Amino acid sequence: KAGVTQTPRYLIKTRGQQVTLSCSPISGHRSVSWYQQTPGQGLQFLFEYFSETQRNKGNFPGRFSGRQFSNSRSEMNVSTLELGDSALYLCASSLLELMAGSPLHFGNGTRLTVT
Amino acid sequence: DAKTTQPPSMDCAEGRAANLPCNHSTISGNEYVYWYRQIHSQGPQYIIHGLKNNETNEMASLIITEDRKSSTLILPHATLRDTAVYYCIVRVVAGAGSYQLTFGKGTKLSVIP
């Protein structure tokens, strides 16, 4: 079974631009959640989508948004990029809704650098 | 809100058991404890999870105290490939019917030859 796939692997953007990251979950998984990882803040939960609906949300500004398609693939968008948005963005899929007893399977992330 | 506390780093001799503690004193009665590890430049890897009873799988064992305020991840025979940052995480109620995951800083385990 193929794992969680995130594209692109690396991305360089300029302040003020916007960016879209993509995540393809494991086949059959309906929940996709997104995380930001930085050296200073560690791993932080962004949001979760389940059956195309946002079910849970972390403490991030509205510049961070996402969506999920009918095939469970998900995209995350960050608008008006700031230098502090430079991070490793991880996506994870799971069979059930967030942590409802089934583990998360993470992709290897997209490394975003904002200059 | 349930949060986790872990020691920042630990060393373990290769072939010996690695015991990684986690404190989650405010965990709710129906919240699972999950353990993941992250090797540099990769996404976190699921290890094990549990609710009340001790759990064991091919990777590790999880010991949860009776009051559920702490747990210990046990790698029975640590190898160099077990060198990683280990995260103990719980689910936190963020609002009416919504949740978020809270990750601590993790424990950097160094397995020494």
Contact B94 A57 (CB under 8 A): yes
Handedness of CA A62, A69, A38, B32 (dihedral sign): positive
Residue with tokens 């995260």: B87
Amino acid making up residue B5: T
- pLDDT value for A78: 98
Distance from CA of A8 to the nearest CA of B (A): 14
Inter-chain Cβ pairs, chain A and chain B, closer than 8 A: 57
Amino acid making up residue A52: E
**Most distant CA pair in chain B: distance in Å?**
49
pLDDT band at B109 (very low <50, low <70, confident <90, very high): very high
Q: Which strands sit side by side in the sheet containing B55-56, from one edge to the other?
A: B18-23, B70-75, B61-64, B55-56
Cβ A85 vs Cβ A40: under 8 Å: no
- Pairwise CA distance, residues A42 & A31, whole Å: 22
Cβ A86 vs Cβ A36: under 8 Å: no
Q: pLDDT per residue over A24-50, tens digit each?
A: 999 999 999 999 999 888 889 999 999
Res B30 pLDDT > 90: no
Amino acid making up residue B113: P
pLDDT band at B94 (very low <50, low <70, confident <90, very high): low
Residue with tokens 């490793």: A88
Of A98 and A85, more confident: A85
Collect all residues of chain B within an 8 Å Cβ-Cβ radius of residue A98.
91, 99, 101
- Pairwise CA distance, residues B38 & B49, whole Å: 16
Collect all residues of chain B within an 8 Å Cβ-Cβ radius of residue A44.
103
Of A97 and B110, more confident: B110
DSSP secondary structure, chain B, as one string: ----B--SEEEEETTS-EEEEEE-TT--TT--EEEEEE-TTS--EEEEEESSS-EE-SS-EEEE-TTSSEEEEEETT--GGG-EEEEEEEEEEEETTEEEEEE---EEEEEE-
Would you call A56 an interface residue with chain B, using a CB distance cutoff of 8 Å? yes
